[in-house]
Amino acid sequence: MRCHSPSRLQIVSILIVGGLVVTAAVIQSAPAGRVSWPLFVNTSDSLPLGFYRVTKVFDLQRGHVLRTCLPAEIGRAAVQRGYVRRGTCPNGSARIGKPIIALQGDTVVVSDGRVQVQGRGNHEAPVYAHDRRGRSLANAVGTHIMQPGECFLLSTHSPFSYDSRYYGPISCGEAPYFILVVNGFQAP
């Protein structure tokens, strides 16, 4: 049996894809302050794996995937437990990307098996008492009336995501906001 070596086209394709992945990873991990790079590579379970374009907006909407830093204590605890990797946020964590399901004026009810945004429907979202390593998890079970500047973030991709089910509403930050889009469309 004769082995065939990869064609020149296959080698070039592998090098191009590998170069893009490395470039995106370097850009994503570079210190940036309030600057956000135009490309984000998602490797977490909170969103589908892949490349996302970072877009600047001045008005947030439900369904936008917000790219933001977690509040200080939440971010530090998330890094310590391994839910979020280290990064350039003031609390030492990496920025997260999570869908917004509720904004100012919405009422969110978190219960054992679902997250309900009153007047906007239910999201099947288990609220676990323990993480996958058996450590107990705080939760945000209860009713939350969203205040000005607050966002309720919930992964619509993974039931194991560390999101507002566990830490409640967070500040949306200040405009401009950075959201993630795929191929020009809002991320799922």
φ/ψ of 20, rounded to 5, equals -65, -45
Q: What integer pLDDT is reported at residue 17 of this predicted model?
A: 66
How far apart (Å, rounded) are the C-alpha atoms in residues 90 and 88?
6
pLDDT, mean of each 10-residue run, the chain (188 residues) = 69 67 52 59 86 92 95 96 94 94 95 84 86 94 96 93 96 90 57
Q: What angle do CA 130, 133, 137 make, to 5 degrees?
A: 25
In the chain, what are the domain boundaries? 8-186
Q: In angstroms, rounded to a whole number, what is the distance separating the alpha carbons of residues 186 and 106? A: 21
Ranges assigned E (strand) in 50-186: 50-57, 65-68, 96-102, 107-110, 114-117, 121-124, 142-145, 150-153, 170-171, 177-182, 185-186
Give the model's pLDDT for residue 112: 77
11 CA to centre of own chain: 33
Give the Cα separation of 118 and 109 in Å (integer).
Answer: 8
Question: Residue 18: its pLDDT value, please?
Answer: 64
Amino acid at 171: S
Strands 150-153 and 170-171: antiparallel
Res 2: pLDDT: 59
Query: What's the N-to-C CA distance of the chain in angstroms?
Result: 47
At residue 43, the pLDDT reads 84
Residue 182's CB: how many other CB atoms inside 10 A? 16
Q: Give this prediction's pTM.
A: 0.77
pLDDT at 30: 46
- pLDDT at position 15: 63
| Strand partners of residue 114 | 124
